[in-house]
Amino acid sequence: MSSVTTEPEASLKLEAILNRSWRLFRDNPIAAVPIAAYTAVLVVLFAAAGAAAVVAVANASAGGTHDLPPSILAPIFGAWCVACVAGGVASAWIYAATYGLANALWVRGAATMSDGIVAARQRGGAVFVSLIGFAGLSIAAVVLALPTLFLSFLALLLFTMYAFPAAVGGGRPGFTAIRESMLLVRHAFGTSAIALLILWAIQQGISLLALPFLLPLQFSFMMSAANNDKSPHVAVWQIALAAGGYILIIFASCAYVGFMAIVQTGLYHTLRARAAGASQSASTLPVSQP
């Protein structure tokens, strides 16, 4: 059982934060539940949309045309717009719930789904505004990509890594959360950069998990191409193995998001406590008289 604390200590080092984050996630992996449920819903929706598209194309082909009727383009565009807005709202709700659970784990050492639901209801709006700010910064990163040799994308990820913890655990408004994240990264650049590098390495390691599952299927395609076969010779077990690899990546990625939220929340509280302590110490220094 993790020890219950009221506030992460400002003296915690990065290694201690990572170790405690892993213990909290290992003992109570509830922080990964919201993103896992969201991912499952998306998979079902994409499967349904794909099936509907296949049916629409089949009906168009049966009618003697291979093009979709113009009358269906407007509903498709409208559905796409609604899906974008709904996806943004749902993403904000899910991230607020995830970081609400992570915050409860750091503050109390335990969390329940009610913590995530309360955080989503109370802080979902702030996270949504943060997502809007992140979208604007992403456009700026794209514009500056070539002049900065794509370092603008790394800077975007680094300087906004505490935005969601600030919006949820810190109770900051959306744009203020981004601003506080930038200030914390500026004051603890090395620690933040190393933490982001470690999290990125974990993410890349997860992406390699499916490689053994995909190799047999890729080998079949390569052999078919080498033999100039008109259709690839693929066995059912190879397809099933590849599908299992993708499912493994999905579950591992959901677990990673939960762990990442816990790490970022712990770092946020620690750096925030350090900044508050530094400000308080500076305010007690004697002011030199002229």
Contact 247, 214 (CB under 8 A): no
- Alpha carbon separation from 245 to 232, 252, 286 (Å, rounded): 20, 10, 63
Structure confidence at residue 4 (pLDDT): 40
User: Where in the sequence is the domain holding 260, given as residue range(s)?
Assistant: 14-43+81-277
Instruction: Find the length of the chain.
Output: 290
Within a domain: 3: no
Q: What is the pLDDT of residue 53?
A: 67
Q: Is residue 286 part of a domain?
A: no
- What pLDDT does residue 192 have? 93
**Structural domain includes residue 261:** yes
Cα torsion angle, 194, 212, 216, 49, sign: negative
Within a domain: 58: no
Q: Cα separation of 30 and 98, whole Å?
A: 9
* Under 8 Å between Cβ of 184 and 192: yes
Q: Residue 142: inside a domain, yes or no?
A: yes
- What is the torsional sign of CA 116, 119, 125, 130? negative
Residue 68 included in any domain: no
| Residues contacting residue 72 through CB under 8 Å, at least 6 positions apart | 56
Burial degree of 24 (CB within 10 A; 0-12, 13-18, 19+) = buried
Asked if residue 202 is part of any domain, the answer here is yes
Q: Average pLDDT by consecutive 10-residue portion of the chain (290 residues)? A: 45 84 92 90 77 67 58 68 79 94 92 93 93 93 90 93 94 94 93 94 86 77 68 74 83 92 94 76 44
What does the alpha-carbon distance between residue 254 and residue 251 come to, in Å, rounded to a whole number? 5
| pTM score, whole prediction | 0.81
* pLDDT given at position 286: 46
Output the pLDDT for position 73: 65
Question: Residue 61 domain-assigned?
Answer: no
Q: How many domains does the chain have?
A: 1
User: What is the pLDDT at residue 105?
Assistant: 93
